[in-house]
Amino acid sequence: MPRGSAPARRVTIVDVARHAGVSTTAVSKVLRNAYGASPDMRIKVRSAIEELGYRPSAAARGMRGQTYTIGVTLPDFRNPFFADILDGVTAALDGTDYVQMLARCCNDEVAEARVHDAMIDRSMDGLILIAPTGSRKHLERIARAVPTVVVGRHGEATGYDTVADDDFTGAELVVEHLAALGHQRIAHIEHLETNPVRLREMPNAIRSAGYRHAMQAHDLGTFIDIESTSYSREGGYLGARRLLARDPRPTAIFAGADIVAMGVLDALTEAGLSVPGDISLAGYDNTMFAAFAPISLTTVDQAGHHIGSEATRLLLDRIAHRDRPTAQVKLSPALVTRRTTAPIDATV
Amino acid sequence: MPRGSAPARRVTIVDVARHAGVSTTAVSKVLRNAYGASPDMRIKVRSAIEELGYRPSAAARGMRGQTYTIGVTLPDFRNPFFADILDGVTAALDGTDYVQMLARCCNDEVAEARVHDAMIDRSMDGLILIAPTGSRKHLERIARAVPTVVVGRHGEATGYDTVADDDFTGAELVVEHLAALGHQRIAHIEHLETNPVRLREMPNAIRSAGYRHAMQAHDLGTFIDIESTSYSREGGYLGARRLLARDPRPTAIFAGADIVAMGVLDALTEAGLSVPGDISLAGYDNTMFAAFAPISLTTVDQAGHHIGSEATRLLLDRIAHRDRPTAQVKLSPALVTRRTTAPIDATV
DNA sequence: AACATATTGGAAAACGTTACCCACCTCACA
DNA sequence: TGTGAGGTGGGTAACGTTTTCCAATATGTT
């Protein structure tokens, strides 16, 4: 019986103004901490707001001013690395008037654009796009409509700020580590990328380039061996299956992401191989999963929390100063050595 | 240099109307598939929309009608079970005009209320609250403001629909399974709950009750052993540490959620114990993690996808018919037997 | 042919806020 | 005693939709 006492009209700014005996303009000023309201006025209005339980309508606000909403899009809810970034966003937003709203933007470019548009339609004050796959042009278009920060994408951009990890160095760290352990046949599983722009901008492509460069630098150029699948558990499983079919098979696998390493482990378990006994394995992202004790995956820490808070800081700054030049923040990754990598001697 | 060609005024319904040579009313009717527009009119308007690249402003819509936005709140981005639910929501929303927006509502009741209010302020057309912790009264208040479906909470409600798994039966399935394997000292790690209402409504409490009931039913009442922590990896770790300190220690642990089982495995690894050699372990939720080959966790499948799509179906229905009586959907869980549980004989 | 009923299209008034501008007051200073 | 500046407060017009009418025309019914 949902009947229940009439839909109860929402308390509006007019009600507050009347109750406090002032104009709606005055109430609005207090709400926005805007100039032109005396301390007395502020107290009076605030107590009226309190008494009436008034809450501003974001829809109405959106028509003239801000909605105090930050939109965050991400490609996947299963990759735990993104949760770290979101924590950083939440932390940075804490204490401000802004609220974050999330949406997943699948992996397909059309669906992604639809989600971005949906956020613009909803008058978000700013957008944080995590690892978007859209074209540069598309991103510039979004950024023209609303302040935008792109996370996890390299390259200079004219319309938006970026925050990214130095994936090239991160990949080098992994190869160096494995090479120092005596490994030569170090294979890599990457996320397939063909678009030339994305080859220069997407983290997965940069990691792959870092891998190749480091292999060359360690005189292991002839051992370069890459499987192109996707950054997902299935991608890892598939890539590992193919690598295991090699003869001789690699002694170490560098998975482009922890989630990929998870799939690799699925395949290794299935094949009855032990880690690092039979084969060494490294991931990337240092997600919660990598720290999982029974696995204890060697990986690269991207400081997701820091990435998220930095992106938020940039976004709030840009909302306040839309004309400042764009900034590119690049963070340094760090290798986290755990138990899935071991010296080649220990490997059969 | 973000300068860039003037902020570019958004295309509005007025532009579309002028371009098509009709009234804004007519355009609005076409947009909403409302009655009163001829097929000719629809074609004419739609092509004008296409040509101008018009997109309706949700803010403006929100002031009079719908925003075509569904708000989804969930307590945690790290529990992969929620990702399954979200997939179900996405699937059910596919092909409709609705877009989903997510927000995390932490675990604390005040923060949760703030998030719910934020969604109402943003004129969401409907809300799906996943495993909310708020009081019944709070939920009823939300539901009075906007069509609401509560996921994962038991008990009759007058203002909102609910979708929940039969957690009591699910817990029984686990105990039955372990008892059939010959286990007696079957311990349980639950999420601490003291509030009397939530003891009757929250899934964690129901699972705990199911565990106790099944233990009694199998004449294992004297072996009932519960650690109260939280549904998180840390909670699992802590609970397991305490259980391992028992003498004699349990031969099997029923973790209230897969994420808890993950923490249990952290503790077991640390203690140098093998699964199921030294101790059997079962989880709950059948998340992606449970299927992870190196672990292969026995668990209870909740069909998260189905839960999500069912909740969405109910919500869309309620948006269309706000007066229909509330519904409680209860889904049946299924045991998924994997490699972390074994006969007691095999256990030392 | 007269009348009722659908169908089609539009004019105008909301919806709740903020931006813009103006009026008033007080105070300091010439 | 003017005059200008800074501080306060408010009136009013947007903002872009949907909703609620109403009028005009087409269709069907006696």
| Strand pairing category for A299-301 and A334-336 | antiparallel
Task: Look at A288 and B55 and tell me if their CB atoms are within 8 Å.
Answer: no
Phi, then psi, of A170 in degrees rounded to 5: -60, -45
Residue of A nearest to B111 (CA): A94
Nucleotide nearest to B17 (CA to C1'): C10
User: CA B269 to CA B273: how far, in whole Å?
Assistant: 6
Q: What percent of chain A has pLDDT over 90?
A: 85
Find the CATH number of the domain harbouring A161.
3.40.50.2300
Does a structural domain hold residue B246? yes
Residues B146 and B18 in one domain: no
Place B76 in a pLDDT band, splitting at 50, 70 and 90. confident
Q: Residue B89 in contact with residue B128, Cβ under 8 Å?
A: yes
Mean pLDDT of the residues in chain B = 93
The pTM of this model reads 0.92
pLDDT of residue A8: 66
Domain assignment of residue A245, given as a range: 167-302+335-346
Q: Residue B312 in contact with residue B88, Cβ under 8 Å?
A: yes
Mean pLDDT of the residues in chain A = 93
Task: Provide mean pLDDT across the span B156-170.
Answer: 93
Q: Which nucleotides of C are covered by protein (CB under 7 A)?
A: 7-12, 14-21
Does a structural domain hold residue A8? no
Residues B174 and B297 in one domain: yes
Task: Provide mean pLDDT across the span B11-37.
Answer: 95
Does a structural domain hold residue B283? yes
Point out the residue among A117, A144, A262 whose CB comes nearest to the CB of B4: A144
Q: For B329-338, how does the pLDDT look when each residue is reduced to its tens digit (9 = 90+)?
A: 999 999 999 9
Task: Look at A58 and B62 and tell me if their CB atoms are within 8 Å.
Answer: yes
Point out the residue among B5, B99, B289 whose CB comes nearest to the CB of A118: B99
B296 touches strand D (CB under 7 A): no
Residues in chain A within 8 Å Cβ distance of B2: 143, 158-159, 322-326
User: CA B288 to CA B278: how far, in whole Å?
Assistant: 24
CB-based contacts of A275: which residues, under 8 Å, 6+ apart? Answer: A265, A268, A281, A340
pLDDT of residue B7: 56
Does a structural domain hold residue B220? yes
| Strand pairing category for B69-74 and B126-130 | parallel
What is the sign of the dihedral through the CA atoms of A250, A254, A259 and A260?
A: negative
pLDDT of residue B333: 95
B345 CB-side CA count, 13 A:
3
Cβ atoms within 10 A of the Cβ of B119, count? 28
Place A195 in a pLDDT band, splitting at 50, 70 and 90. confident
Query: What is the number of structural domains in chain B?
Result: 3
Residue of B nearest to A12 (CA): B121
Q: Is A5 a residue whose pLDDT tops 80?
A: no
Residues B41 and B130 in one domain: no
Task: Provide mean pLDDT across the span A182-204.
Answer: 93
Task: Look at A294 and B293 and tell me if their CB atoms are within 8 Å.
Answer: no
By the CB < 8 Å criterion, does B117 face chain A? Answer: yes
pLDDT of residue A2: 37
Q: Is A230 a residue whose pLDDT tops 80?
A: yes
Beta bridge partners of B74: B104
What is the sign of the dihedral through the CA atoms of A220, A225, A228 and A232?
A: negative
User: CA A170 to CA B186: how far, in whole Å?
Assistant: 45
User: CA B233 to CA B239: how far, in whole Å?
Assistant: 10
Element (H, E) at A165: strand A161-165
Kindly report which amino acid residue has its CA closest to the C1' atom of nucleotide D10: A23
Nucleotide nearest to B61 (CA to C1'): D17
Question: CA–C1' distance B38–D24 (Å)?
Answer: 15
Task: Look at B288 and A120 and tell me if their CB atoms are within 8 Å.
Answer: no
Per DSSP (E only), the strands in chain B are: 69-74, 99-104, 126-130, 148-151, 161-165, 186-191, 225-229, 252-255, 280-282, 299-301, 328-331, 334-336
Place B346 in a pLDDT band, splitting at 50, 70 and 90. low
Q: Is B124 a residue whose pLDDT tops 70?
A: yes
A205 CB-side CA count, 13 A:
17
Residues A213 and A340 in one domain: yes
Nucleotide nearest to B40 (CA to C1'): C8
Smallest CA–CA distance, residue A55 to chain B, in Å, is 7
By the CB < 8 Å criterion, does B194 face chain A? Answer: no
The residue assigned the tokens 């319309």 is: A159
Q: For A40-92, how does the pLDDT look when each residue is reduced to its tens digit (9 = 90+)?
A: 999 999 999 999 999 999 999 999 989 999 999 999 888 888 999 999 999 99
Which class for B284: exposed (0-12), middle (13-18), buried (19 or more C-beta within 10 A)?
A: buried
- The per-residue DSSP string of B246-276 comes to SSSPPSEEEESSHHHHHHHHHHHHHHT--TT
Distance between terminal CA atoms of chain B?
Answer: 70
Find the CATH number of the domain harbouring A52.
1.10.260.40
- The per-residue DSSP string of A211-263 comes to HHHHHHHTT-GGG-EEEEE-SSHHHHHHHHHHHHTSSSPPSEEEESSHHHHHH
Residues 4-33 of A with CB under 8 A from B: 4, 8
List the single range of A255-264, B197-206, B208-217 with lowest mean pLDDT. Answer: B197-206
At B168, the amino acid letter reads F
Residue of B nearest to A296 (CA): B266
CB-based contacts of A153: which residues, under 8 Å, 6+ apart? Answer: A131, A132, A162, A164, A201, A202, A203
Smallest CA–CA distance, residue A40 to chain B, in Å, is 27
Residues B177 and B296 in one domain: yes
pLDDT of residue B157: 85
Task: Provide mean pLDDT across the span A32-45.
Answer: 94
By the CB < 8 Å criterion, does B60 face chain A? Answer: yes
Task: Provide mean pLDDT across the span B297-303.
Answer: 95
User: CA A151 to CA A133: how far, in whole Å?
Assistant: 11
Strands laid side by side in the B99-104 sheet? A328-331, A161-165, A148-151, A126-130, A69-74, A99-104, B99-104, B69-74, B126-130, B148-151, B161-165, B328-331
User: CA B210 to CA B225: how far, in whole Å?
Assistant: 13
By the CB < 8 Å criterion, does A295 face chain B? Answer: yes
Protein side of the strand C interface (CB < 7 A): A 9-10, 12-14, 24-25, 27-28, 31-32, 34, 36, 54-57, 60-61, 63-66; B 21-26, 35-41, 63-64
Place B120 in a pLDDT band, splitting at 50, 70 and 90. very high
Does a structural domain hold residue B6? no
Does a structural domain hold residue B7? no
Q: What percent of chain B has pLDDT over 90?
A: 84
By the CB < 8 Å criterion, does B66 face chain A? Answer: no
Cβ atoms within 10 A of the Cβ of A158, count? 14
List the single range of A6-15, A152-161, B199-208 with lowest mean pLDDT. Answer: A6-15
Place A348 in a pLDDT band, splitting at 50, 70 and 90. very low
User: CA B185 to CA B178: how far, in whole Å?
Assistant: 10
Q: Is B6 a residue whose pLDDT tops 70?
A: no
Residues B173 and B293 in one domain: yes
If DSSP codes are grouped into helix, strand and coil, which group holds residue B294? coil
Residues A266 and A204 in one domain: yes
Q: Residue A281 in contact with residue A298, Cβ under 8 Å?
A: yes
Question: CA–C1' distance A34–C20 (Å)?
Answer: 14
Q: Residue A174 in contact with residue A284, Cβ under 8 Å?
A: yes
Task: Provide mean pLDDT across the span A104-124.
Answer: 92
Give the closest residue to B174 by CA, choosing from B290, B59, B293. B290
Q: Residue B160 in contact with residue B139, Cβ under 8 Å?
A: yes
Residues B215 and B295 in one domain: yes
Residues B222 and B341 in one domain: yes
Q: Is B1 a residue whose pLDDT tops 80?
A: no
* Interface probe, candidates A66, A78, A137, chain B, greatest B C-beta count within 10 A: A78
List the single range of A104-108, A215-219, A252-256, A314-318 with lowest mean pLDDT. Answer: A104-108
Q: For A264-318, how does the pLDDT look when each residue is reduced to its tens digit (9 = 90+)?
A: 999 999 999 999 999 999 999 998 889 999 999 999 999 899 999 999 999 999 9
Q: Residue A128 in contact with residue A101, Cβ under 8 Å?
A: no
Does a structural domain hold residue A61? no
Residues A209 and A340 in one domain: yes
User: CA A87 to CA A304: how far, in whole Å?
Assistant: 8
Q: For B246-294, how does the pLDDT look when each residue is reduced to its tens digit (9 = 90+)?
A: 999 999 999 999 999 999 999 999 999 999 999 999 999 998 889 999 9
The residue assigned the tokens 């549904």 is: B231
Q: Is B175 a residue whose pLDDT tops 50?
A: yes
Residues A87 and A156 in one domain: yes
Give the closest residue to A172 by CA, choosing from A328, A335, A290, A336. A335
A24 touches strand D (CB under 7 A): yes
Q: Is A346 a residue whose pLDDT tops 80?
A: no
Give me the total of CB pairs closer than 8 Å, taking one residue from chain A and one from chain B.
153
Phi, then psi, of A220 in degrees rounded to 5: -115, 20
Q: Is B5 a residue whose pLDDT tops 80?
A: no
Residues B316 and B211 in one domain: no
User: CA A39 to CA A45: how far, in whole Å?
Assistant: 10
